[in-house]
Amino acid sequence: MRSTTRRASTAFVALALLATACGDGDGDTEPTDDGTAADGGEAAADLELVNEGTLTVCSDIPYEPFEFEDPDSDIGYSGFDIELIQAIAERADLDVEVTVTGFEALTSGTAMATGQCDVAASAMTITEERAEQIDFSEPYYEALQSLLVMSDSGIASIDDLEGTVVGVQSGTTGEMYAQENVEGAEIRAFENPGDLFVALDSGQIDAVLQDLPVNAERARDTDELEVVEEYDTDENYGFALEQDRADDLLQVINDGLGAVRDDGTYEQLYDKYFATE
């Protein structure tokens, strides 16, 4: 867990520098003293949203610690993605409503194009293939892939997977990484990310290959599970929108993302969900 913290901290610094570089364009708004975009409310008034005054967010839930159901939340959901998009929406004077949607409907852009939501916030890696169908915000998180196994499995690395069954979520970069790098094993895809852990606990699969924070969250409170390996795949997450929207929602989100970095909100949320002792 300590190595995870060091690498995650490095990722945070890299993303902060990237955000600074991306934020030098002429279209950026100047933050006010309280960290909000100076014309955020005015810009939001011109948005063509599914529901006026509300940013409707699609997400594939559960996927802790990025998004999960939370009865104590005023919108019913929490997580790093959810609270980050809430903070961005707040700076544009928008409420947030969450709609649970399958992951493939988000990566294809179908959920946004059919009016189910305005934006997808679902730990989605920015890829060239996906960018052909959807528009991405500036990156907000750098992710690693990882291998989760039962602690008594005898599996210590990706090289030990021959003859095993490896679980992945369908349509994800974890699935692509497994297909390209795991040899001699059956790759079994699950549509629902929560089903991966059920399958591992019941012995239907021998390992789970997916994003590190999700696997680490699962292993944190039990000695029965262990993250045995991490893979640096140069992945960055972004919020996704319908391609070529007529309004300025993409700019509003990017401006809000810059504002929450500047005022410390991003770092607070990052520490809340990813920092370890």
Domain span at residue 89? 2-140+238-274
Note the pLDDT tens digit of each residue in 97-117.
Answer: 999 999 999 999 999 999 999
| 4 pLDDT above the threshold of 80 | no
Note the pLDDT tens digit of each residue in 219-270.
Answer: 988 899 999 999 999 999 999 999 999 999 999 999 999 999 999 999 999 9
Q: Averaged over 195-221, what is the pLDDT?
A: 94
> Which of the four pLDDT bands, split at 50, 70 and 90, describes residue 31?
very low
CATH, residue 201: 3.40.190.10
SS (H, E, C) the chain: CHHHHHHHHHHHHHHHHHHHHHCCCCCCCCECCCCCECCHHHHHHCCCCCECCEEEEEECCCECCCEEECCCCCCCEECHHHHHHHHHHHCCCCEEEEEECCHHHHHCCHHHHCCCCCEECCCCECCHHHHCCEEECCCCEEEEEEEEEECCCCCCCHHHCCCCEEEEECCCHHHHHHHHHCCCCEEEEECCHHHHHHHHHCCCCCEEEEEHHHHHHHHHCCCCEEEEEEEEEEEEECCEEECCCCCCHHHHHHHHHHHHHHCCHHHHHHHHHHCCC
Output the pTM of the full model.
Answer: 0.77
The answer on 129 and 23 residing in a single domain is: yes
The answer on 212 and 166 residing in a single domain is: yes
The answer on 226 and 104 residing in a single domain is: no
The answer on 204 and 72 residing in a single domain is: no
The answer on 259 and 198 residing in a single domain is: no
Total domains in the fold of the chain:
2
pLDDT, averaged across the chain = 87
The answer on 101 and 16 residing in a single domain is: yes
| 165 pLDDT above the threshold of 90 | yes
Note the pLDDT tens digit of each residue in 112-138.
Answer: 999 999 999 999 999 999 999 999 999
